Structure formats: structure tokens, C-alpha cells
């Protein structure tokens, strides 16, 4: 499969690796939004958040929590964003699941380029749509 993150995981492409164990690898993003912007990936290919098996997702999320704390300390960051883009519309450009860890400093930049406003009833309409789906798809995993 033609996947740059699989190549990084198998060491057939280079990356600035900051952590590795049997199942996961973390390396610096080559097009970072801040210094130290790190990507955490499973060595096995899964397309996105929805297709990650629960066990691997749990392990990777714990690892991402640990690495976030380590990066925050190492770079004396004030905070950090943990982000997962899913689908082209959400900005996903590499279709091998990954978390972004982005170190943040007071007043460095705005992460939200826009916000929208609900009109008076819309917020309830959207809540109802989601709540109905929560009932309908109770227990559904993997989208």
C-alpha cells in the first residue's frame, strides 16, 4: 500500500522519531503549526479514528496522553492541542490514523478560524438529531 506513515513505521521513509515501541511510533510533523508538533501513529495501518480497534485506540490514547505531558515539559509549553482530522472535509491528508500533539503558548495563534451561531431553535434541533442517533446506534462501534 502506498502510505507514507506505513513507510515511516517500517523505516523505509525517514522521520524525526521521538518515541517508539512495539505497536506505535511518534515523530515530528514536517509541516508543523508550532515547534515540536508531533504525530502519534499505530504501526499497523488503520484509515482513521472510526476504524481503529478499541484496544489499539485505548493504548494509543494513553500513549498520546503520556507524550503530551512529556512534550509540554520538554518544550516548556503552556498547553497543547490533541487533534485527529477525519475525512478530507476535516483536513485529513494522510489516511493512516494519527493524533497530532501541538504544543501551545499563551497568545500564539487562534486554533478556531471561525465560529458559527445557532439561531434560537437550531441548537435544540441539532441536539435532537444527535440524541436520536445515540439511541438508534447504541453500542455501535466503527461508524
Residues that bind ligand AMP (CB under 6 A): 4, 13, 15, 27, 29-31, 39, 85, 91-94
- Residue 6: contacted member of Zn ion, ligand AMP, none (CB under 5 to 8 Å, by partner type): Zn ion
Q: Whole-angstrom Cα distance, residue 17 to residue 30?
A: 11
Cβ nearer to Zn ion, comparing 45 with 104: 45
Q: Point out the catalytic residue in the list 37, 96, 98, 100.
A: 98
Member of 23, 45, 72, 104 binding Zn ion (CB under 5 A): 45
* Annotated catalytic residue 98: yes
Q: Whole-angstrom Cα distance, residue 40 to residue 15?
A: 12
Q: Whole-angstrom Cα distance, residue 75 to residue 63?
A: 18
Member of 6, 70, 75, 83 binding Zn ion (CB under 5 A): 6
Closest CA to 6 of 80, 97, 105: 97
Detail the DSSP E strand segments found in 1-141.
Answer: 17-20, 24-28, 38-42, 79-83, 99-104
Q: Of the listed pieces 4-12, 23-31, 48-56, 117-125, which binds Zn ion according to CB under 5 A?
A: 4-12
- Residue 94: contacted member of Zn ion, ligand AMP, none (CB under 5 to 8 Å, by partner type): ligand AMP
Q: Are 95 and 40 in contact (CB under 8 A)?
A: no
| C-alpha R_g of the chain | 17
Q: Is 100 in the site for Zn ion (CB under 5 A)?
A: no
Contacts with Zn ion, residue ranges (CB under 5 A): 3, 5-6, 45, 96
Amino acid at each position: 500500500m502506498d502510505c507514507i506513515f506505513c513507510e515511516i513505521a517500517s523505516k523505509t521513509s525517514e522521520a524525526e522519531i521521538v518515541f517508539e515501541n512495539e505497536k506505535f511510533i511518534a515523530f515530528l510533523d514536517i509541516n508543523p503549526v508550532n515547534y515540536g508538533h508531533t504525530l502519534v501513529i499505530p504501526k499497523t495501518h488503520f484509515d482513521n479514528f472510526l476504524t481503529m480497534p478499541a484496544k489499539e485506540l485505548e493504548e494509543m490514547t494513553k500513549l498520546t496522553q503520556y507524550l503530551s505531558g512529556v512534550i509540554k515539559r520538554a518544550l516548556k509549553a503552556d498547553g497543547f492541542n490533541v487533534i485527529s482530522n477525519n475525512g478530507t472535509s476535516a483536513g485529513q491528508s494522510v489516511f493512516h490514523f494519527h493524533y497530532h500533539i501541538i504544543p501551545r503558548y499563551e497568545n500564539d495563534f487562534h486554533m478556531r478560524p471561525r465560529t458559527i451561531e445557532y439561531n434560537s431553535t437550531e441548537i435544540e434541533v441539532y441536539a435532537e438529531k444527535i440524541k436520536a442517533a445515540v439511541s438508534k446506534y447504541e453500542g455501535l462501534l466503527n461508524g
